[in-house]
Amino acid sequence: MTEPTINEIREARSRIGQHVHRTPVLTCRTLDRVCDAEVFFKCENFQKVGAFKTRGATNAVFSLGEDEVKRGVATHSSGNHAAAVALAARRRGVPAYIVMPETVPRVKVDAVRGYGAEIVFCEPTLKAREKGLAGVVNRTGAMFIHPYNDYRVIAGQGTAALEFCEEVSDLDVVMAPVGGGGLLSGTAIAVAAVSPGTRVIAAEPEGADDAYRSFRSGVLVPSRDPRTIADGLLTSLGDLTFPIIKRLVNDIVTVGDEEIVAAMRMIWERMKIIVEPSAAVPLAALQTRRGVVKERRIGIILTGGNVDLGNLPWNS
C-alpha cells in the first residue's frame, strides 16, 4: 500500500458516505471578533460517536476483504477511535475487541460498550496497550486497526477537510490539532489537492509536543511522559504520518493547557456546542495568533465532543 492521494480520499468518501454524517460548518460572530478573523468551524463533534475518528475507522474496516475481516477487528485507543472501530465493526457485522487504558473517562467506555464491542482494560502506558492488543489478536485472529498509522485511516480522516474545502472556498488556513497525525496528514493531502492556496497549520499541547519537535528537527521524536488536558493528543506521530506532515504541513505550533481550557470554555459559552479539550487546541492557537499572523479566513476542524460532564476542567 502506498501513501494516499486525493484519489484515495475521494474513494474513502464514497465508501463511508452512508455510514458517517456530512457535518455542518458553523460560525460565531463573537469568536470572529475575539480572533479578528472569519472563523469557520467544521463540527466533527457532531459526527457519529462524537468525533472525526469515525471517518478513518469506517474506511479501514470497510476496506478489508471478507476473509480479512470475518474474525473481527481490534485496536487500542484512549477512546474515540475505540468507539469508532466498534461502530464500524457493528455496521460491517463483525466483532470488535478494544484495548483501553483503565483511566479513560466513563462516558467513552460506555459508548464503546454500547456499540457491542468487547473491552480489555490495561495500564495507561503505550507498552501495556500494545501487549494487551497482541494478546487479543493472538486469541481471536482479529485484524488490528491502528488509530492513525494506517493509510486507510489517514484517507478516511482526510474526508473531513475535503468536505470543508468544498463547502467554504478560499480559506487562508485550515487548522487541526495533532496527536498521532492521522487527521493532520489526511487533512494536508486533501487541502493540498483541492485548495492549494490554503495553508495547513497544526496546533499541539505544550505538554505533548512531539509533533512540534519532530517537525522542527526533521527527525521523528516520540512523546516522553506527555501530560495535557487534551487527552486525545497524547500519542506520538507514526512513521506513516510523519513524512506526509513534514512534506505538506506549513507549521506546527504549541499552546498551554490553560489556553486550551479557556478556548474550550469560550466555544461552549459562545457557540453553545460541546467540544472536548483536544478540539479546542487550534482555537487556543488562533486566539494568540500563533502560526497564523495576518490570515483572515480560518477553517478549524473541531475534532470531537466527548467529555465526562461530571468532571469538567473548570470545576477541578
Nearer to a copy of itself, 43 or 183 (CB): 43
- Minimum distance from residue 80 beta carbon to a copy of itself (Å): 13
Rounded Cα distance between 114 and 136, Å, is 20
- Minimum distance from residue 312 beta carbon to a copy of itself (Å): 7
Q: Binder to a copy of itself among 32, 140, 243, 268 (CB under 8 A)?
A: 268
Nearer to a copy of itself, 87 or 188 (CB): 87
Does 84 sit near a copy of itself (CB under 8 A)?
Answer: no
Nearer to a copy of itself, 143 or 267 (CB): 267
Take residue 266 and report the three cell numbers written for it.
Answer: 469560550
Nearer to a copy of itself, 139 or 270 (CB): 270
- Minimum distance from residue 108 beta carbon to a copy of itself (Å): 11
**Applying CB under 8 A, which part among 52-60, 78-86, 201-209, 265-273 lies near a copy of itself?**
265-273
**Applying CB under 8 A, which part among 126-134, 177-185, 240-248, 262-270 lies near a copy of itself?**
262-270
∠ CA 156-160-163, rounded to 5°: 120
202 bridge partner residues:
176, 252
Cα-trace Rg, the chain: 18
Q: Are strands 25-26 and 38-43 parallel, antiparallel or unpaired?
A: antiparallel
Which residue type, as a one-letter code, is found at position 65?
G
- Minimum distance from residue 127 beta carbon to a copy of itself (Å): 32
∠ CA 282-283-289, rounded to 5°: 90
- Minimum distance from residue 305 beta carbon to a copy of itself (Å): 4
Look at the block and give the residue holding cell 461552549: 268
Other CB atoms within a 10 A radius of the CB of residue 173 amount to 22
142: DSSP letter = P
Q: Which 95-114 positions form the footprint of a copy of itself (CB under 8 A)?
A: 107
Nearer to a copy of itself, 29 or 139 (CB): 29
- Distance from chain centroid for Cα 190: 15
**Residue 127 exposure: Cα atoms within 13 Å on the Cβ side:** 2
Strand order across the beta sheet in which 143-144 lies: 118-122, 96-101, 73-76, 143-144
- Minimum distance from residue 38 beta carbon to a copy of itself (Å): 17
Other CB atoms within a 10 A radius of the CB of residue 121 amount to 15
**Applying CB under 8 A, which part among 45-53, 85-93, 200-208, 282-290 lies near a copy of itself?**
45-53
Nearer to a copy of itself, 64 or 107 (CB): 107
3-state secondary structure (DSSP) of residue 250 = coil
Take residue 160 and report the three cell numbers written for it.
Answer: 473531513
Does 33 sit near a copy of itself (CB under 8 A)?
Answer: no
Chain residues binding a copy of itself by CB under 8 A are: 24, 45-46, 50, 107, 265, 268-269, 272-275, 305, 309-310, 312, 314-315
